[in-house]
A and B are shown apart, each in its own frame.
Chain A
Amino acid sequence: MHLHKFEKLWLLSGVGALALFLVILGFGAFYLGTHPQSHGITIDPANIEAEEAFQPENLGLTKVDDDKYIVNVVATAFNYDLGVDEDGNAVKNIKIPKGSTVLFQVVTPDVVHGFNIAGTNVNMMVEPGFISSMEVEMKQSGEFTLLCNEYCGVGHHMMFATVEVYE
């Protein structure tokens, strides 16, 4: 088969790019351990309170150390349960100091939800039966919207809260 020398050139770069992307993928998966946010950790969706982190008093923002926080959330159609404040009202706004490391742990007892803090790298799927978690450093200050980006039913668009990262 005869190939023009230019054709050889772009075929080679195409195949080279494919090989490079596969190497990057393999590096991420096997060396860095990148995998879906559920981490394969299961939970009984009918009894999420059996897990201490998701008992009503442990929901929302908890400070564990200097600049280290945990946010436990129960996502249900169509609400993010971030616990209650001193007056017993549902928390819809959490405040985190800039530069702190936050571990988000989210579960759902019903359907698949999304957990996305728009404008940050926090973005994961929440599936019934799994504990989705990810740890991030909040590098930028500002007010971000926490929203559901997996269509979960008629009230999907009403499923949001705000995350404030202050200096």
Chain B
Amino acid sequence: MKSGERNYSGSNREPSLKGTLISVGVLGLVIVISWFAVFALFISR
């Protein structure tokens, strides 16, 4: 397989979405952390 080509040769093989899952997870974590940070700021003031 050439670099840059996605790993979905064959009809019943799924593409690897590991990188996407990690990106989505990181984004979700950023949102959750900022929500709690803002809430903590509100409570402390």
Same assembly: yes
Contact A6 B45 (CB under 8 A): no
Contact B17 A6 (CB under 8 A): yes
Which B residues lie at the A interface, using CB under 8 A?
14-15, 17-18, 20-21, 24-25, 28, 31, 42, 44-45
Measured CB to CB, the nearest residue on chain A to B44 is A139
Which A residues lie at the B interface, using CB under 8 A?
4, 6-7, 9-10, 13, 17, 119-121, 139-140
Whole-angstrom distance between the Cβ of B22 and the nearest chain A Cβ = 10
Query: Which B residues touch A13, using CB under 8 A?
Result: 28
Known: A10-B24, A13-B28. A120 touches B17 (CB 8 A): no
Contact B42 A4 (CB under 8 A): no
Measured CB to CB, the nearest residue on chain B to A138 is B45
**Which of B15, B18, B25, B42 lies in contact with A121, CB distance below 8 A?**
B42
Measured CB to CB, the nearest residue on chain B to A121 is B45
Contact A10 B42 (CB under 8 A): no
